[in-house]
């Protein structure tokens, strides 16, 4: 891999799409539809937004949806999603027959080029997505040689590009080809192959700007249009930076501040201000969801001064207003949920004891792993202590949840927050991913909204939970 990022030959203005939000119109008809709405996910610069589209009794719908520039959208049909992309000012017409083969799904537009682009996106998804998901799983096989992994990635990438070459060039070909390239470049990155292998250049791509596509190029145009490119940049700078190593001033007696590290990497490796400020903003927002509040707050305070993009300053300030509610010492958000016997359990009812909350899911591998490997030992270690264990399942309905807690023999107060990100308790505790652990003191105040997992607390060394229990007697 080259020692530094190269600037793309294609640079646009440094004004980010995040600074002005526009809309696109989604309308159409669903036959045999027995519900009042369906959902559309719109990708963004920092997270995805789920939009409910109301459907009338005749199956008609029409809704103007907010969008930042050009973004991927995902239309939920049954248990599957149809992936498209929309631009500000678009009008997209969708029609399908509910409970029939997904081939009944038809998308159209008022723009001729857009019809071809949307058709290409749909057909590509139907032809490649299943193989891509299977490839993702195969790459984690133990003992597989790097050369074998690369061949599997590269072969499917070549097949995808050859499929796209069947379609004529349009104004958004750069985005479409860029999405594909960086989807596979991310696989190389994830499996630590980027420094050894490069994706093949496929004959027939001359009608697109793909000749400039390279994982060491930094393109503001593609940054604005491609989520897969933004994902690649985010992980590239955090985990696979082009320099072998670097150091920033840090007291060796203090815990490592990962977000501070990402902050310094952003300044070291990203020369385009708008992309650099986006990267650091995203790292801080993610940091509040996964690292210690006070560590991230130090980076947040500093970046508000150094950030050169006003829109991202506003984004961070608005984000922080909500997340500050989970700062250490703040009252823990109240909730009342039903347990596996159907009885309501409220957080205020647990006052007087330390509360350890485990947000988990039946289909979350790390969640199940921590429960199976450490759950019994963890509960045994603290069974005589002043602590209550609350397990909040977020990803399934009641029947499947009850079966799972029975199979796992899961101790503690088992509660269900069906609907995950749509459930109020998940919103209040800013649950962005699972497993996620929260520690609340005996007065009902937050100790940390990012507590260590059970695997970190089962050892003999004194930990944050031990200290919280000891504080009850003070």
Whole-model pTM: value is 0.73
> In the chain, where are the structural domains located?
17-111, 258-326, 336-473
Q: Which residues of the chain have pLDDT under 70?
A: 1-21, 78-79, 100-102, 203-212, 241-256, 474
Whole-number Å distance between alpha carbons of 299 and 325: 18
The pLDDT, as a whole number, for residue 299 is 93
Q: CA 274 to CA 16: how far, in whole Å?
A: 6
Query: Greatest CA separation found in the chain?
Result: 74
Q: Determine contact, residues 87/67, Cβ cutoff 8 Å.
A: yes
Instruction: Answer yes or no: are the C-beta atoms of 44 and 68 closer than 8 Å.
Output: yes
DSSP 8-state assignment for residue 200: P
CA neighbor of 76 nearest in space, from 101, 58, 56, 53: 53
CATH topology of domain 336-473: Glutaredoxin (3.40.30)
Contact partners, residue 453, CB within 8 Å, separation at least 6:
370, 374, 435, 437
| Residue found under tokens 């652990």 | 437
CA of residue 177 relative to chain centroid, distance? 22
Q: How far apart are the first and last CA of the chain?
A: 57
The Cα–Cα gap between 129 and 74 comes to 13
Count of CB atoms situated within 10 Å of the CB of 331: 12
Both structure tokens of 349: 């009812």
- CA atoms of 134 and 424, how far apart (whole Å): 34
| C-alpha Rg value of the chain to the nearest Å | 24
pLDDT tens track for 52-92: 888 999 999 999 988 888 899 988 776 677 889 998 888 99
The three-class DSSP label of residue 341 is: coil
Distance CA 391, CA 323 (A): 22
pLDDT value at position 37? 82
> Are 309 and 274 within 8 A, CB to CB?
yes
**Residue 111: per-residue pLDDT:** 81
Helix%, strand%, coil% for the chain, nearest 5? 45, 20, 35
Hey, is 245 helix, strand or coil? coil
**What is the spatial distance between Cα 50 and Cα 124, in angstroms, rounded to a whole number?**
23
Q: Is residue 435 reached through a cis peptide bond, with omega within 30 degrees of 0 on the bond before it? A: yes
Q: How far apart are CA 474 and CA 470, in angstroms?
A: 7
Q: What class does CATH assign to 17-111?
A: mainly beta
The conformation of residue 350, written as its DSSP 8-state character, comes to G
Token reading at 361: 């899911």
Phi and psi, residue 104, nearest 5°: -70, -10
Enclosing H/E stretch for 83: strand 80-87
> Which helix (DSSP H) or strand (DSSP E) does residue 358 occupy?
strand 354-360
Cα angle at 393 between 391 and 398, to 5 degrees? 120
Backbone angles phi, psi at 272, to 5 degrees: -85, 115
- Decide: helix, strand or coil at residue 160: helix
């Amino acid at each position: 891999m080259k020692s530094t990022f190269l600037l793309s030959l294609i640079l646009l203005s440094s004004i980010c799409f995040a600074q002005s939000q526009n809309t696109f119109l989604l309308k159409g008809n669903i036959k045999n539809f027995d519900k009042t709405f369906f959902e559309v996910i719109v990708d963004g610069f920092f997270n995805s937004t789920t939009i409910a589209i109301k459907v009338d009794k005749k199956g008609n719908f029409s809704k103007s949806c907010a969008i930042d520039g050009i973004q991927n959208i995902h239309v939920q049909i049954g248990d599957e999603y149809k992936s498209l992309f929309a631009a500000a000012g678009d009008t997209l017409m969708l029609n399908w027959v509910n409970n029939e083969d997904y081939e009944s799904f038809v998308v159209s537009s008022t723009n001729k080029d857009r019809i071809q682009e949307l058709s290409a996106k749909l057909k590509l998804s139907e032809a490649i997505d299943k193989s891509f998901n299977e490839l993702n799983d195969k790459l984690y096989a133990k003992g597989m040689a790097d050369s074998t992994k690369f061949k599997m990635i590269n072969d499917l990438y070549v097949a995808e590009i050859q499929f796209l070459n069947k379609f004529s060039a349009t104004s958004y070909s750069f985005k479409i080809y860029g999405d594909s390239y960086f989807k596979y470049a991310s696989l190389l990155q994830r499996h630590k192959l980027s420094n050894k292998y490069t994706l093949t250049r496929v004959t027939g791509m001359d009608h697109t700007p793909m000749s400039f596509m390279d994982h060491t190029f930094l393109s503001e145009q593609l940054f604005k249009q491609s989520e897969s490119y933004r994902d690649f940049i985010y992980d590239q700078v955090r985990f696979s930076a082009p320099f072998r190593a670097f150091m920033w001033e840090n007291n060796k007696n203090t815990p490592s501040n990962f977000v501070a590290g990402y902050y310094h990497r952003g300044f070291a490796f990203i020369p385009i201000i708008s992309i650099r400020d986006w990267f650091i903003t995203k790292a801080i927002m993610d940091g509040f969801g996964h690292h210690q509040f006070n560590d991230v707050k130090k980076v947040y305070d500093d970046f508000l001064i150094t950030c050169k993009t006003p829109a991202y300053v506003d984004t961070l300030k608005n984000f922080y207003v909500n997340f500050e509610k989970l700062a250490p010492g703040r009252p823990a958000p109240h909730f009342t949920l039903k347990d596996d016997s159907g009885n309501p359990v409220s957080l205020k009812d647990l006052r007087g004891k330390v509360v350890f909350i485990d947000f988990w899911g039946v289909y979350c591998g790390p969640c199940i792993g921590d429960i199976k490997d450490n759950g019994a030992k963890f509960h045994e270690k603290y069974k005589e202590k002043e602590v209550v264990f609350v397990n909040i399942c977020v990803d399934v309905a009641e029947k499947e949840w009850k079966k799972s807690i029975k199979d796992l023999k899961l101790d503690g107060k088992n509660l269900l927050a069906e609907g995950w990100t749509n459930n109020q308790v998940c919103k209040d505790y800013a649950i962005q991913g699972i497993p996620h652990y929260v520690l609340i003191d005996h007065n009902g105040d937050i100790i940390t909204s990012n507590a260590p997992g059970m695997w970190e607390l089962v050892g003999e060394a004194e930990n944050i939970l031990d200290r919280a229990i000891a504080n009850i007697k003070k």
